[in-house]
Amino acid sequence: MRKLNSSLQFLIGIIFLVSCQQQAVVENTSNETPLDPLPSWNEGKSKTAILSFIKSSTDTTSNNFVPVEDRIAVFDNDGTLWSEQPAYFQLFFAIDRIKAMASDHPEWKDQQPYKAVLEGDMKALMASGERGLIELVMTSHAGMTTDEFQQIVTDWIATAKHPRFDRPYNELVYQPMLELLDFLRANAFKTFIVSGGGVEFMRPWAEAVYGIPKDQIVGSSIKTKFEIKEGVPQITRLPEIDFIDDKSGKPVGIWKFIGRRPIFCGGNSDGDLQMMQYTASSKYKSMMLYVHHTDSVREWAYDRQSHIGQFDKGLDEAKAKGWNLVSMKDDWKSIYTFD
């Protein structure tokens, strides 16, 4: 009897799961032509591959069907969801912060890397090396509560403008990728950002722009501590690196924050190679999609020799393994939401 009950419950459970999945799939009950879920993508190999992958992974009769809970899609941010030239946007944020803080630090006039920042000398700034850049980030990103830092980022993203486009940085997001994110979610994929950028630099604005909840944004982080300040429990940001979510750190971050191998991975540089490899090793049929910066007119064209977003080993491996290479120039009808 107990066994019978269990079997019955098992059956009910399966039916419940299947019916949940059905609801999530894009419905087309009319006789009209289905709406194109990816209107900013030109017809071609990339678009066909995406449509085909999502169709087969959500079709219960397909050998490649993936249960809803395993439909995990991860995306790099810089260069994959928004632009990253002429430098990572977070560096512009750090520079603006240093300038805003400079009046309290007269000593910075003669002290690198601050001197370089205040004089707008990017060459000297780059010459300060990794050590200099880390010092800059720590000075501009630590020493306040998380509430305060969140407000600083929110104010900056609302007011700062990109040097080339003279628009807020969060308007430089790729319209075709927004459509892809929406299409994945409409098919019950859970979408995540897995970025080398600072998690607390992304969370204040990325949720609204990408439709990805804060708790689904994974990034690099500095250490924090809990303390009660003037009666109010606060989390304070400390000038010490906690986790670098780049290269081999990306699959480590995926496992730490998500706990599953993804079945879809979007990236654009060698920093994304290891999470591509990790996604490719899923027990399900998975999709690896590399955005290739090929549009020198509407965006930028760069790969192997670039200082920002270098795409060299990843390009070779993508070609060798037949991963999807999206050419921004050829595959994308429009680049930005404002195009």
Residues of this chain that interact with its own copies (CB under 8 A) are 5-7, 9-16, 18-19, 22, 69, 146, 190, 192, 199-200, 203, 207, 213-217, 221, 224-226, 228, 232-233, 235, 242, 248-249, 251-252, 255-260, 274, 277-278, 280-281
As given in the structure block, the two tokens for residue 330 are 């050829």
As given in the structure block, the two tokens for residue 328 are 């921004």
Q: How far is the CB of 336 from its own copies (least distance, A)?
A: 17
Q: Which CB atom, from 43 or from 147, has the smaller least distance to its own copies?
A: 147
88: number of Cβ within 10 Å: 19
Q: Which CB atom, from 154 or from 281, has the smaller least distance to its own copies?
A: 281
Strands 287-292 and 324-327: parallel
Please choose, from the candidates 248, 233, 246, 169, the residue with its C-alpha nearest in 3D space to the C-alpha of residue 201: 169
Q: Which CB atom, from 3 or from 123, has the smaller least distance to its own copies?
A: 3
Q: Which CB atom, from 283 or from 307, has the smaller least distance to its own copies?
A: 283
Q: How far is the CB of 249 from its own copies (least distance, A)?
A: 8
Judge whether 223 and 194 are in contact, CB under 8 Å: no
Q: How far is the CB of 215 from its own copies (least distance, A)?
A: 5
**Range list of H helices, 85-163:** 89-101, 114-118, 122-127, 129-141, 146-159
Which of the 8 DSSP states describes residue 107? Answer: G
Judge whether 196 and 271 are in contact, CB under 8 Å: yes
Q: Which CB atom, from 216 or from 324, has the smaller least distance to its own copies?
A: 216
Q: How far is the CB of 192 from its own copies (least distance, A)?
A: 8
Q: How far is the CB of 121 from its own copies (least distance, A)?
A: 35
Q: What is the CA radius of gyration of the chain?
A: 22
